[in-house]
Amino acid sequence: MTDDVPDAAHRALERHGAFEGERDEYRCTTTPFDAVATLSPAPGDRDATFEVEVRVPSLDAVVESETVAEVVEDGWFDTLERRLDDAYDVVKSSDRLDPEIERFDDEVVARFGVQAWTADQGADDAKALIDYVEGTYVQGVIPGYEYGEPVAGLLNRAQKNADSESTNRGGTPL
């Protein structure tokens, strides 16, 4: 029920620059994954509870031209799940909801929430959580497979960023 959420929380997401939407759902526009932030009332003096849900494809769903063995898919998910348990390391809000990481046939759904003292901090924390999920996902991509979108684009972007950093430090691109 967003009626009990202070307008400051809605304004923080609306003006953040990474989110589009209003009142019920704010979609993150800076990731190729399906990532949304929602608001709910927070206890005490907190501005709001900022809840984030990020949907990412399973490994087998993005590998092209072959099927990923179940044991590989299971190991990949177990590693992703353990790494996402550390997502709250990137937020400043100290009151956090228990993370939920669920695996379905073709996707993984990660849910997090923070109860922010200020609306702007809640919006920043929501974006940080989304970025953490994206980065953790990309780090967990297993070499040796041919990937489709959005993974292929993310890997390409990561390689370009690495090449740019190497060149900027006076090195030669890989």
Q: What is the pLDDT of residues 53-77, one digit of tens each?
A: 999 999 999 999 899 999 999 999 9
Q: Is the pLDDT of residue 158 over 60?
A: yes
Domain extent for 79 = 2-144
Residue 151 inside a domain? The answer is: no
Maximum Cα–Cα distance across the chain: 55
Q: Is the pLDDT of residue 171 over 70?
A: no
Q: What is the CATH number of the domain that holds 71?
A: 3.30.1460
Residue 168 inside a domain? The answer is: no
Cα–Cα separations (whole angstroms), residue 50 to 56, 81, 94, 116, 127:
20, 21, 13, 7, 10
pLDDT number for residue 1: 45
Q: Is the pLDDT of residue 103 over 70?
A: yes
Residue 152 inside a domain? The answer is: no
Domain count, the chain: 1
Percent above pLDDT 70 for the chain: 93
Residue 170 inside a domain? The answer is: no
Question: What confidence tens digit (pLDDT) does each residue in 24-64 have?
Answer: 799 999 999 999 999 998 887 777 899 999 999 999 999 99
